[in-house]
């Protein structure tokens, strides 16, 4: 199985994250931010990933450090467990959630990039600042070496919009990390 454990300790957060990308789709633990945990649960379920997160963050300041640092360690975990020589590499997926529609396309290439095209109406959904959704995916993309394009096509409910984004990324990742037979999927013969 493709699994790993990442630990990160700073003056702002203490994190231990376990990831199994060949899991059953479960999220356990907590970030301390209820709505963010709900999104991590959706990400795990829709990607088929098992994620266990134990952390303490400086939530008395705000959620920024916690959300960004989870993106960092989750990205590092994906980078450790994914052998780019043996995977489908590309994934893309649309997810409708009621009135909202989100799209993700990605390439597990070793070249980190994020294009994030989504706007939110409210400052927060629950205790999660909406601006932190982009920060999470930026940290994830930069630390996983994934080229990640996220586009919110439309929607009016910020909860639905954010959840559709997390689910679209999870489904695209699930496609991209599937194992394949044969040579590395690159005309150059190498990735990155």
pLDDT digits (tens, 9 = 90+) for 121-178: 999 999 999 999 999 999 999 999 999 999 999 999 999 999 999 999 999 999 999 9
Asked if residues 75 and 140 have their Cβ atoms less than 8 Å apart, the reply is yes
With vertex at residue 75, the alpha carbon angle to CA 179 and CA 32, rounded to the nearest 5 degrees, is: 125
**CATH, domain 3-176, list 3.10.450.50, 3.30.230.40, 3.40.190.10, 3.30.70.890:** 3.30.230.40
Q: Residue 157 contacts by C-beta under 8 Å, 6 or more apart in sequence?
A: 98, 99, 100
Closest by CA position to 84, among listed 53, 109, 121: 109
Q: What is the mean pLDDT of the chain?
A: 95
184 band by pLDDT with thresholds 50, 70 and 90: confident
Instruction: Tell me the β-bridge partners of 20.
Output: 3, 50
- CA 94/CA 165 separation, integer angstroms: 9
């Amino acid at each position: 199985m493709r699994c790993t454990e990442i630990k990160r300790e700073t003056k702002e957060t203490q994190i231990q994250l376990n990831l199994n990308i060949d899991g059953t789709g479960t999220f356990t633990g907590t970030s301390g931010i209820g709505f963010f945990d709900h999104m991590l649960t959706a990400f795990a379920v829709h990607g088929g990933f098992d994620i266990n997160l134990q952390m303490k963050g400086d939530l008395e300041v705000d959620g920024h450090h916690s959300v960004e640092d989870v993106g960092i360690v989750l990205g590092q975990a994906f980078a450790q467990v994914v052998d780019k020589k043996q995977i489908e590499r590309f994934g893309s997926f649309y997810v409708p959630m009621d009135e909202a529609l989100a799209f993700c396309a990605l390439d597990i290439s070793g070249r980190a990039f994020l294009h994030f095209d989504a706007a939110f109406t409210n400052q927060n959904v629950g205790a999660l600042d909406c601006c932190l959704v982009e920060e999470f995916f930026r940290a994830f993309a930069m630390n996983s070496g994934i080229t990640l394009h996220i586009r919110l096509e439309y929607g009016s409910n910020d909860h639905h919009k954010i959840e559709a984004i997390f689910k679209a990324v999870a489904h695209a990742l699930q496609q991209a990390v599937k194992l394949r037979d044969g040579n590395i999927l690159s005309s150059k013969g190498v990735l990155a």
